[in-house]
Amino acid sequence: MIYINRLDTIERQNKKLFTGNRQTSAYYLKHGFLSNTLLAANKIMALDIGIQSQSKGTDPLERDLVVSLKYVEYSFLLDVFKVLENKTGVHISDCDDARLQGGQLELFHNLVEKVIEEVKQKPKTWSEHTGFSVHPKKEVFETLVKSELIEKLINLLNLIEKTQTNERTLFFFGD
């Protein structure tokens, strides 16, 4: 099964053809039509978030504290990423790298705190809309577990705080 995310409805309304080509996908991603290229239905990790490495190695992240978002978690946080983009101009995508620093980190911290409070009001598990299946044609939902998501979001807060304390850059490592 191949599917694309919920933001593709804009693309379909414009009656443009989604080809699955990586370059075409990157264009659509940049302009907010998609949040990922064609995906296998059970894509596991969508985005790694960590402190940007200062070494000259090939890994852009310091690996002592990294938060890895599953695709369903990334989908759940899309609204947070959109608010962040509207206020900072930084586009966070699971396909592109992004960086936050300084005052941007405080904004992100505040947004994550608000999301934690929202998640606390959710049931133990719930279905999150993650996309549309191209073949067969249907909507795709995945299950989120409240306790797991809260734990991951608290780890994200800790990561943001560590980044702020050390006056470093928070790095979003996309595909």
Residue 31 belongs to domain spanning: 2-173
pLDDT tens track for 41-86: 344 568 999 888 776 665 666 777 889 999 999 999 999 999 999 9
pLDDT interval class at 173 (50, 70, 90): confident
> Does 1 score more than 60 pLDDT?
no
Residue 125: the pLDDT is: 98
- Closest CA relative to residue 33, chosen from 14, 46, 50, 49: 14
* Measured CA distances, 63 to 48, 50, 53, 60, 165 (Å): 10, 7, 9, 9, 17
The C-alpha atoms of residue 147 and residue 156 are separated, in whole angstroms, by 14
Residue 52: the pLDDT is: 81
pLDDT tens track for 4-37: 444 443 333 333 333 333 334 444 444 444 444 3
Domain tally for the chain?
1
